[in-house]
């Protein structure tokens, strides 16, 4: 068994941020194990993606190519990666924990009598892979045993995408053999999110509101605080699901990933799906009436109190400080 191979995902012809974060996790694994770090791009006509990947400090970029890989199907991806793994015998196969990976990677691992250690948030000596359980209230450490490759997927926001050094890697090509009859699904048009007019990802200050606000009419309270600070307003998923704020303001695993200088979480419990979208923030302040709320575990400053008292007082204090 040799080498660490990170599977990079095609996001509209570019490699997405989650894949660079997975590569960063691969780098950590390479430092711990002394194994070489390599990357995989998969699809049809992957030259552009491979070129982008080859600018990173990896030993090799492998293009897994087949015309039936042009549009994603779980069967074709599983078959092609299975063949590649049989040929290369990697020690570790690392994925970003995307919806696509969740769809095919467990089947790929099972095909090899392995499991996928999914949604990993940290990698320690051993190597030991850390996962969060029970909505982030517990963490579990996992080791891989046995001869087969170890499959892991990396939670969004857990590793820094910019930690991967740049270089010039060799690109190789692997021709997969895929029988069209082995593909049991027919790909439809790719899902397209609505065009985003709010770029939370580059906002330096964010005030984010959760279900603690109780009803839409109360949102003005947090809007006032955001205005006083000069911050963007964001929200947890229930707020957007209720239609109280547009979806583009949602932070989390199915919303935007943000990393502002200040993230002020108001009445947000800190479910894992929310945390993955904001825990890279430089300073996190949480206001919550429940001292046991998981948001306090990632907060730099915590205010245990009723947001209907704390927020107006904070708004006044900010206004007074700004003169
Ligand atoms: C596949 C999937 C994807 C998901 N994607 C996302 C996502 O992208 N983003 C996301 O946010 N969620 C997402 N979720 C939902 C997530 O699991 C949580 O349900 C959600 O984040 C909870 O939102 P919340 O913290 O606002 O609400 P709650 O969990 O209900 O928390 C409300 C908090 O407000 C506090 N509170 C109540 N009243 C007050 C008060 N007066 N003063 C102060 N504090 C008060 C409570 O103590 C509580 O902690 C997803 C779930 C799934 C299954």
What confidence tens digit (pLDDT) does each residue in 272-297 have?
889 988 988 889 999 999 999 999 99
Here the tokens at position 196 are 């985003």
Average of per-residue pLDDT across 115-140: 89
Dist. CA 47–CA 165, nearest whole Å: 21
> How large is the average pLDDT for residues 104-117?
96
CA of 134 to the centre of ligand 1 (A): 14
Taking the centre of ligand 1 as the mean of its atom positions, its distance from the CA of residue 239, in whole angstroms, is 9
Look at ligand 1, atom 37, and give the residue with the nearest C-alpha.
Answer: 212
At which residue do the structure tokens 């999914």 appear? 118
Q: Are strands 116-124 and 150-154 parallel, antiparallel or unpaired?
A: parallel
Candidate from 235, 252, 293, 312 with most ligand 1 atoms within 8 A of CB, to mutate: 252
Give the CA distances from residue 252 to residues 3, 136, 256, 273, in Å, rounded to whole numbers and listed in that order: 32, 14, 6, 5
Structure tokens at 77: 């991806």
**pLDDT for 196 beyond 80:** no
Give the integer Cα–Cα distance in Å for 153 and 139: 16
Contact 39, 52 (CB under 8 A): no
Average pLDDT, the chain: 92
Evaluate if residue 197 carries a pLDDT over 80: no
Which residue has the least CA distance to atom 19 on ligand 1? 271
Query: Across residues 15-29, what is the average pLDDT?
Result: 93
Q: What length is written for the chain?
A: 323
Q: Which residues contact 285 (CB under 8 A, 6 or more apart)?
A: 262, 263, 264, 265, 299, 300, 301, 302, 303
Provide the pLDDT confidence category of residue 80 given band limits of 50, 70 and 90: very high
pLDDT attached to residue 301: 98
> What is the pLDDT, as a whole number, of residue 91?
96
- Minimal CA–CA distance to 299: which of 143, 128, 136? 136
Task: Take residue 41 and report the two structure tokens written for it.
Answer: 């791009």
Q: How far apart are alpha carbons 11 and 293 in whole angstroms?
A: 35
In the prediction, which pLDDT does 136 show? 65
Residue nearest to atom 26 of ligand 1 (CA): 210
Compute the average pLDDT of residues 244-266: 91
Q: Averaged over 84-107, what is the pLDDT? A: 95
Closest CA to 244 of 230, 234, 258: 234
- Cα of 272 to ligand 1 centre, how many Å? 9
Distance between Cα 24 and ligand 1 center (Å): 29
Residues in contact with ligand 1 by the CB-under-6-Å rule are 210-212, 236-238, 250-255, 267-269, 271, 273-274, 277, 287-290, 293, 306-308
Give CB contacts under 8 A, 24+ apart, made by 283-291.
287/311, 288/212, 289/212
Q: Which two tokens stand for residue 52?
A: 């982008």
Looking at residue 131, its pLDDT comes to 92
* pLDDT value for 205: 95
Crossing angle for the helix pair 307-322 and 219-229, nearest 10 degrees? 20
Nearest atom, ligand 1, residue 306 CA: 42
Q: Which of 93, 74, 97 is nearest to 16 (CA)?
A: 97
Higher pLDDT, residue 306 or 1: 306
Q: How confident is the model at residue 193 (pLDDT cuts 50, 70, 90)?
A: low
- Which tops the pLDDT comparison, 238 or 200? 238
129 Cβ neighbours under 8 A, 6+ residues apart: 117, 120, 122, 123, 141, 142, 143, 144, 152
Rounded mean pLDDT of 11-26? 91
Q: Where is 43: in which H helix or E strand?
A: strand 37-43
**What is the distance in A from the centroid of ligand 1 to the CA of 234?**
13
Give residue 7's pLDDT. 98
Please tell me the residue having the least CA distance from ligand 1 atom 51. Answer: 273
pLDDT of residue 259: 83
Question: How much is the pLDDT for 307?
Answer: 98
If you average pLDDT over residues 171-194, what whole number do you get?
87
Which of 103-112, 158-167, 228-237 has the least mean pLDDT? 158-167
């Amino acid at each position: 068994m040799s080498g660490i191979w990170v599977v990079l995902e095609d996001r509209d012809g570019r490699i997405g941020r989650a894949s660079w974060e997975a590569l960063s996790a691969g780098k950590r694994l390479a430092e711990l194990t002394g194994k070489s770090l390599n990357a995989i791009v998969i699809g049809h006509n992957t030259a552009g993606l491979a070129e982008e990947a080859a600018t990173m400090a990896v030993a090799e970029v492998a293009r897994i190519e087949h015309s039936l890989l042009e549009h994603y199907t779980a069967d074709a991806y599983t078959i092609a990666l299975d063949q590649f793994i049989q040929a290369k015998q990697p020690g570790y196969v690392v994925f970003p924990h995307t919806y696509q990976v969740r769809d095919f990677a467990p089947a790929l691992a099972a095909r090899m009598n392995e499991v996928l250690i999914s949604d990993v948030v940290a990698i320690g000596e051993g190597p030991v892979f850390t996962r969060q359980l029970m909505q982030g209230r517990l963490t579990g450490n996992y080791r891989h045993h046995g001869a087969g490759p170890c499959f892991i997927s990396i939670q969004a926001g857990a590793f820094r995408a910019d930690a991967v050094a740049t270089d010039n890697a060799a690109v190789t090509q692997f021709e997969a053999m895929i029988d069209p009859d082995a593909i049991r699904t027919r790909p439809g048009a790719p899902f397209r999110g609505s065009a985003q007019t709010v770029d939370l990802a580059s906002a330096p200050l964010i005030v984010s509101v959760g279900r603690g606000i109780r009803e839409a009419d109360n949102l003005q309270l947090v809007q006032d605080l955001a205005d006083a600070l000069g911050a963007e307003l964001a929200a947890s998923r229930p707020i957007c699901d209720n239609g109280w704020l547009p979806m583009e303001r949602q932070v989390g695993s199915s919303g935007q990933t943000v990393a502002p200088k200040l993230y002020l979480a108001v009445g947000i419990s800190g479910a894992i799906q929310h945390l993955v979208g904001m825990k890279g923030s430089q300073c996190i302040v949480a206001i919550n009436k429940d001292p046991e709320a998981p948001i306090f575990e990632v907060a730099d400053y915590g205010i245990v109190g009723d947001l209907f008292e704390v927020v107006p007082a904070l708004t006044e204090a900010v206004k007074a400080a700004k003169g």
